[in-house]
Structure 1
């Protein structure tokens, strides 16, 4: 039995280790204060985005997702950007990632977003198996970035 809820202030102590695990997986090291500021900004203004936390039947935090809301000109529509999806290593393969994506998709529908879009690293084959398994379509776009 998995429970998925929108993150509130009381969830932050359980969410931080998951976010740190996500950052460690991608070999990045943002400051905990910056991660906490992001979490609190999303709690304060869910119109910008929100985070979900997945808990197992014992109440232990086993995964999270972050969705940001925006527009996509190419679709002429609102979209949800699944910026983060992470489940603990021991929880992978149990349906937790799929359940988080399903809840994100439901939230997109509730907000009038026509698509849920996301990226993953080319070498993250475990995640790609999940995404392929739920019928998600791979994009042909390449991602670029510049430091501001």
Structure 2
């Protein structure tokens, strides 16, 4: 069993461990300064960002999600962007990802968001199996500068 809740300041060490593993998983690079800034933003509700943490029965953090709430030109309300979703390698396949997404949906609903969305790499087949069951794949392709 896993429980999901908003992060609190005392989760910092566990969140940092999981976030750094997430960055490694995507073969990316994020400076320690940006990681520290991100953590502060996640705790500061005025920034329209929040984070969830999944904890197993033993109290071990096994997954994280970062949510960004923003306005849209296509809606009078808010959108919820699930920017980061990561499950520890030893907890994959145990329902942690699903629990984090369901908790994301619940937080988006609580805040009245009209849409919840996220992105993943095309080759992330394991995660996409879950996403195909609990979300709708769109036809959009992402570009960036």
Normalised-by-shorter TM-score class: over 0.9
Contiguous gaps of at least 5 residues in structure 2 = none
> How do 1:16-27 residues align onto structure 2 when only pairs under 5 Å count?
16-27=16-27
Calculate the TM-score normalised by the size of structure 2.
0.94
In the alignment, what sits opposite 1:84?
84
Distance 1:62 1:46 in 2: 27
Change (3 A) 1:46 1:58: farther
In the alignment, what sits opposite 1:137?
136
Calculate the TM-score normalised by the size of structure 1.
0.92
Distance 1:54 1:66 in 2: 12
8 Å contact kept, 2:41–2:47 = no
8 Å contact kept, 1:9–1:40 = no
In the alignment, what sits opposite 2:10?
10
In the alignment, what sits opposite 1:39?
39
Count of residue pairs brought into register by the alignment: 145
8 Å contact kept, 2:54–2:62 = yes
The alignment yields a C-alpha RMSD, in angstroms, of 1.3
